[in-house]
Structure formats: structure tokens, C-alpha cells
Amino acid sequence: MDEKELIRARLTELDRLAYERNILKTSGFLSYAEQQAYHQLQKAGSFLTPTHFLGGGYEESERAAAFFLPDYMDKAEAEGAKIAVLKAEVPGEKYAEELTHRDYLGALMNLGIERECLGDILVDEGGAYIFCTQEMSGYITDNLLRVKHTSVRCRITPAAELKLSPRLEEKKVNVASERIDVVIAAVYKLSRQKASQLVDAEQVYINGITVSSAGKQMKEGDRVSVRGFGKFIYDGIDGSSRKGRLYVRIQRYI
């Protein structure tokens, strides 16, 4: 059984247990690629539980867990029961190193934490927000004391205090059409062939779902993620040139 089949089998089992016992069951945090198993099962109508969803602790999350709910619980309650948000702060940040996502992830993995226990890590000025399972939150707050050569301290952040506003750069690009490969090539300054190869390699996601065709037409509001390159929001057509080319607006995450 390959990795995709294992994930499908695990999700199916979690769904069955939640349905038969009327209890909350969740997977670990899943990458975009792993989330495809959930989308495929959902599309096929394979789940038994009436309420199920992918959640990562905030609206824009990339890594997300699959939730299968009992009939007495809502989505917000379920996420709060299973996902903790930690704020890693750098005391005396004036003299601290500039720490990256990779630095925080490396420090956490060095503590022996499994990747499925960790959701997104959002670096901001003075530290980072770390999304993790509730079971792992205490261990991280007690043991994540240093990232590279910089001392840090962690505290659990109540959901009400969580204020996340993604940093976006608005751009206008000139394209021949709204095909996904054409737009990706323009946004990341790639050749059309390279953009198509990324699609064929299942490295491109729209709204969290793998893009299967380079000819897929984009729609206003689509959220695009290209592994190794970044993310952007497609805001649609904003005029055309005399030669019939399109000007489209995007908001790129920075």
C-alpha cells in the first residue's frame, strides 16, 4: 500500500469511528499533497459523518487536519479542542538573529516532534505563531527555548487574541489567457513549458486542490499555491491591450 492509499485508509477509518461512536476524530496535520486524499473521498461521497472539514486553526492555513464531527459539536469548537496556537517571542529582539520558517521548523523537529503534530508556522516581527496539536502544546512551551543561537519563549495564545493579516503585494500582469499555466508563468517569470511541468508534477494547487490540467481556467478569488515558488490570490481581469492580451490582477503573498 503506497502513501496515498495509507492516508485514504486512515481517513476512512477516522470517519467510521467518529460516525459509529459519535465522537470527534481528527487526523494529524496534512500537507496540500496529503489533503488530496480527503478531497477525493469527499468528492466520491465516501464519508459517513454529516459534518467533516479540513482545518488548520485559521482561514488561510496551508497545513490542515481532517476533522470528523459528532452531532453535538460545531466546527469552531472542534478546532479549539484539537489545535493550539503558540506565540514564540524573542526577548530583546533588537539584538536577535533574523529567524526564518525553516529555522523554527528545524528547532521543533530537533525536539523530536513529528511533522504531523505541527501546522503552519507564521513568522512575524519579534517571533512567530506556531500551530500545533493541543497534546503537543505544553511540551513545546516548556522545551522550545532556543532557535539557532537566539533565545525564545513560548506561550499559548487564546484564539480571541490571534490577529493574522497576511502581507500581500498587489501586481498587474499581462497574459494571453486565464489558463493556469499562462498566469503562473507571468507571475513567477517562468517559461510556459516550465509552468506546465509544475502542473504535470502536481506542484500546483487551487483552493487547496491539485490542478490536473495546465489548461484550467482561473476564476476570480482563486487561491493558488505553487510548491517552491509561493502563493497568490487571483483577482481577475482588469482590462485588455490593443492586441487582445489581458491585464490581470493578483495579490502575491510576501
The three-class DSSP label of residue 53 is strand
Taking residue 230's Cβ as centre, other Cβ atoms within 10 Å add up to 13
pLDDT classification of 97: cutoffs 50, 70, 90: confident
Taking residue 18's Cβ as centre, other Cβ atoms within 10 Å add up to 22
d(CA 100, CA 154): 16
CB 173 within 8 A of CB 147: no
Average predicted confidence (pLDDT) for the chain? 93
- pTM, two decimals, is 0.87
Q: Which of 107-111, 148-152, 176-180 has the lowest mean pLDDT?
A: 148-152
Q: Tell which phi-psi region holds residue 208, choosing left (phi > 0), alpha (psi between -120 and 50) or beta.
A: left
CA 45 from centroid of its chain's CA atoms: 24
CA 92 from centroid of its chain's CA atoms: 30
DSSP per-residue string spanning 162-211:
------EEEEEEEESS-BHHHHHHHHHT--HHHHHHHHHTT-EEETTEE-
* 164 or 70, which is more confident: 70
d(CA 233, CA 225): 9
For cell 516548556, what's the residue? 142
How much is the average pLDDT of 104-109? 97
Q: For residue 96, is pLDDT > 70?
A: no
Q: For residue 94, is pLDDT > 70?
A: no
Q: For residue 77, is pLDDT > 80?
A: yes
* pLDDT at residue number 148: 92
The three-class DSSP label of residue 237 is strand
The three-class DSSP label of residue 226 is strand
d(CA 127, CA 117): 20
How much is the average pLDDT of 175-179? 96
218: nearest Cα among 179, 173, 172, 176: 179
All domains in the chain, ordered by first residue: 3-81 (3.30.1370), 83-161 (3.30.70.330), 168-253 (3.10.290.10)
The three-class DSSP label of residue 122 is strand
